[in-house]
Structure 1
Amino acid sequence: MPKIFKFSQFTQFSLRDLIVTAGPMTVLVIALCYVAYRLVDPSPPKQVTLATGQENGAYEEFGKKYAAALGKFGIKVTLVPSMGSQENLQRLMDPDSGVDIAFVQSGSIEQQAAKDAGLVSLGSLFTEPVWLFYRESKKITQLTQLKGLRVNVGPEGTGVPKLFKTILSVNGLEPSDVKIKQLENTPATVELLEGRIDALVFSSAPDALLIQMLLQTPGIKLFDFTQAEAYSRRFPFLTHVVLPRGIVDLGRDLPPKNYHLIAPTATLVAREDLHPALIDLFVQAAGTIHGGAGWFRKQGEFPNASYTEIPVIPEAEKFYKDGPPFLQRYMSFWLANFFERMWVVIVALGALILPLSRIVPPLYVWKVRSRVYRWYGQLRTVEQAIEDVPPGKRATVYPAQLKRLAEIEERVNQISIPLSFADELYRLRSHINLVRKRILWLCEAKQETQESKEEVKPASA
Structure 2
Amino acid sequence: MTTLNTRMMLAGIAMAVSAFGAQAEELRIGTASLGGAFYPVGQAAANLVNKHAPDYTMVPVVTAGGTENPRLIGNGEVDIAIGNANTSFFASQGMPPYQDNIDIASIGTLHSSILHIVTLDGSDVTSISDLKGKRVAVGPAGGGTLNLLNDVLSVHGLSFGDITPSFLSYADGFSQLSDGAVDASIALSGFPAGAVIQTSTTTDIAFVDIGREKLDEIIDQFPYYSIVEVPAEAYGTDGPLTVLGTKNILITQADADEDKIYQITKAIYGNLEEFATENANARQIVASEAYDIAVPLHPGAKRFFDEQ
TM range (shorter): 0.7 to 0.9
1:135 to 112, 115, 120: 120
> Cα RMSD between the aligned structures?
3.0
SS of match in other structure, 2:27: strand
Change beyond 3 A, Cα 1:240–1:276: same
One-letter amino acid of the counterpart of residue 168, structure 1: L
Identity %: 22
Question: C-alpha deviations, 1:211-253, integer Å up to 9, x for none?
Answer: 33245554211123332343233212211110122344xxxxx
Higher relative contact order (CA 8 A, sep 6+): 2
Map 1:307-322; keep pairs closer than 5 Å: 308-317=293-302, 319-320=304-305
Task: Find the counterpart in structure 2 of residue 171 from structure 1.
Answer: 156
Whether the 8 Å contact between 2:112 and 2:284 is mirrored in structure 1 is no
More helix per residue: 1 or 2? Answer: 1
TM-score (norm 2): 0.77
Change beyond 3 A, Cα 1:155–1:258: same
Single out whichever of 235-244 and 66-75 deviates more from structure 2. Answer: 66-75
Residue 106 of structure 2 is aligned to residue 124 of structure 1: no
Whether the 8 Å contact between 1:239 and 1:262 is mirrored in structure 2 is yes
2:271 to 280, 288, 303: 288
Q: CA deviation at 1:179?
A: 1.3
SS of match in other structure, 2:271: helix
How many corresponding residue pairs?
274
Change beyond 3 A, Cα 1:162–1:133: same
1:158 to 123, 143, 157: 143
More strand per residue: 1 or 2? Answer: 2
Task: Find the counterpart in structure 2 of residue 205 from structure 1.
Answer: 190
2:73 to 84, 92, 102: 92
One-letter amino acid of the counterpart of residue 288, structure 1: N
> In structure 2, what is the Cα distance between the partners aligned to 1:130 and 1:259?
11
One-letter amino acid of the counterpart of residue 195, structure 1: G
Change beyond 3 A, Cα 1:123–1:229: farther
Task: Find the counterpart in structure 2 of residue 251 from structure 1.
Answer: none
Q: CA deviation at 1:304?
A: 2.0
Whether the 8 Å contact between 2:29 and 2:58 is mirrored in structure 1 is yes
Question: C-alpha deviations, 1:358-406, integer Å up to 9, x for none?
Answer: xxxxxxxxxxxxxxxxxxxxxxxxxxxxxxxxxxxxxxxxxxxxxxxxx
> In structure 2, what is the Cα distance between the partners aligned to 1:193 and 1:44?
47
Question: C-alpha deviations, 1:72-123, integer Å up to 9, x for none?
Answer: 233211322211122222211114x3x2111111221524239942210112
SS of match in other structure, 1:168: helix
Q: CA deviation at 1:307?
A: 6.8
2:40 to 61, 68, 71: 61
Unmatched segments (≥5 aa) in structure 1: 1-42, 249-253, 327-461
Map 1:62-461; keep pairs closer than 5 Å: 62-72=41-51, 73-74=53-54, 75-95=56-76, 97=77, 99-108=78-87, 109-110=89-90, 111-113=92-94, 116-227=101-212, 228-248=215-235, 254-284=236-266, 285-286=268-269, 288-289=271-272, 301=286, 304-305=289-290, 308-317=293-302, 319-320=304-305, 325=307
Q: CA deviation at 1:194?
A: 0.9
Single out whichever of 156-165 and 214-223 deviates more from structure 2. Answer: 214-223
Whether the 8 Å contact between 1:286 and 1:303 is mirrored in structure 2 is no
Q: CA deviation at 1:155?
A: 2.3
Q: CA deviation at 1:299?
A: 6.3
Change beyond 3 A, Cα 1:217–1:244: farther
Task: Find the counterpart in structure 2 of residue 427 from structure 1.
Answer: none
TM-score (norm 1): 0.53
SS of match in other structure, 1:161: helix
Whether the 8 Å contact between 1:152 and 1:200 is mirrored in structure 2 is yes
Change beyond 3 A, Cα 1:287–1:209: farther
Larger Rg: 1
Change beyond 3 A, Cα 1:71–1:208: same
> In structure 1, what is the Cα distance between the partners aligned to 2:265 and 2:258?
10
